[in-house]
Amino acid sequence: MKIDLSQKIILVTGASRGIGKSIALLLGKSGAKLALNYNRNEEAALAVQKEIGKRAVLFKGNLSNAMEVTSMFASVIEHFGRLDVLVNNAGIALSAPTNQNDVEWVESWLTTMDVNLNAVGLLCKKSIEIFKTQASGGRIINIASRAAFRGETEEYLAYAASKGAVVALTKSIAKSFGKYGIKSFVVAPGFVLTDMAKPFIEAYGKEKTLDATALDEATLPEHLAPLVAFIASGNMDHATGTTIDINGGSYLH
């Protein structure tokens, strides 16, 4: 089946690197018009845009700041006039062990929530406002994590908590706005080889990470992008509210 997204306008957050980059490139290849958000890595974002061509437009915005979230979203709507799919991909994983001092621990907790949950919630709200005005509704794809279901190590309590909340948020949107033609999905990756995963590889080694899955190869960003394209195409609309796990069968271990 060929996925044709040529009629779709899609916002992807955190599109400069890792999973977001891979999603952007595949959506671009499938013909979508793309609003690509990035934060610090402008050069990397420009390279992604260049590879896709003029269908992709960059929107800088630090999602840890609610004002930047709303102004970035307003710029996207001003530029494209509408939105069909929101992909909330940007995320951070800050290490904050419980023996850290309270001030630093709380700072990590709040920053994690700002990026991984608060921005996601706000972008969902802003997208729902737009989707409700469109006969075609819209789709939301939130990238959560295996950590939402299986928990994380003690340094990443905030990360796991933020992703668990994203799952509940996504289900609530599916339940509340389905009658407006709005569908909402969670994609929950396990361990994926990106910059975010580097500290885990350094701490536990690649072999040990692979041992925790059913496959003999690590999950790459390219293993996630096709699912996002498929959901964006509308072929999974009747699965709204669900989570699709991409974790190399790690739940079987």
Where do we find the tokens 């996504």? 170
Work out how close the CB of 189 gets to ligand NAP at its nearest, in angstroms, rounded to a whole number: 4
Pick between residue 137 and residue 197 the one whose CB is nearest to ligand NAP. Answer: 197
Work out how close the CB of 172 gets to ligand NAP at its nearest, in angstroms, rounded to a whole number: 19
| Residue ranges that bind ligand NAP, judged by CB under 6 A | 13-14, 16-20, 37-41, 45, 62-64, 89-92, 115, 143, 145, 189, 191-192, 194-197
Pick between residue 137 and residue 243 the one whose CB is nearest to ligand NAP. Answer: 243
Pick between residue 37 and residue 49 the one whose CB is nearest to ligand NAP. Answer: 37
Assess whether 159 carries a catalytic annotation. Answer: yes
Work out how close the CB of 29 gets to ligand NAP at its nearest, in angstroms, rounded to a whole number: 18
State how far the Cα of 233 lies from the Cα of 27, in Å rounded to an integer.
10
Work out how close the CB of 204 gets to ligand NAP at its nearest, in angstroms, rounded to a whole number: 12
Work out how close the CB of 195 gets to ligand NAP at its nearest, in angstroms, rounded to a whole number: 4
Catalytic residue of the set 38, 156, 159, 251: 159
Pick between residue 41 and residue 100 the one whose CB is nearest to ligand NAP. Answer: 41
Pick between residue 34 and residue 137 the one whose CB is nearest to ligand NAP. Answer: 34
DSSP the chain: -----TT-EEEESS-SSHHHHHHHHHHHHTT-EEEEEESS-HHHHHHHHHHH-TTEEEEE--TTSHHHHHHHHHHHHHHHS--SEEEE---------TTS-HHHHHHHHHHHHIIIIIHHHHHHHHHHHHHTTSTT-EEEEEE--THHHH---GGGHHHHHHHHHHHHHHHHHHHHHGGGTEEEEEEEE-SB-SGGGHHHHHHH-HHHHHHTSSSSS-B-GGGTHHHHHHHHHTTTGGGTT-EEEESTTGGG-
User: Any idea which residues carry the catalytic annotation?
Assistant: 159
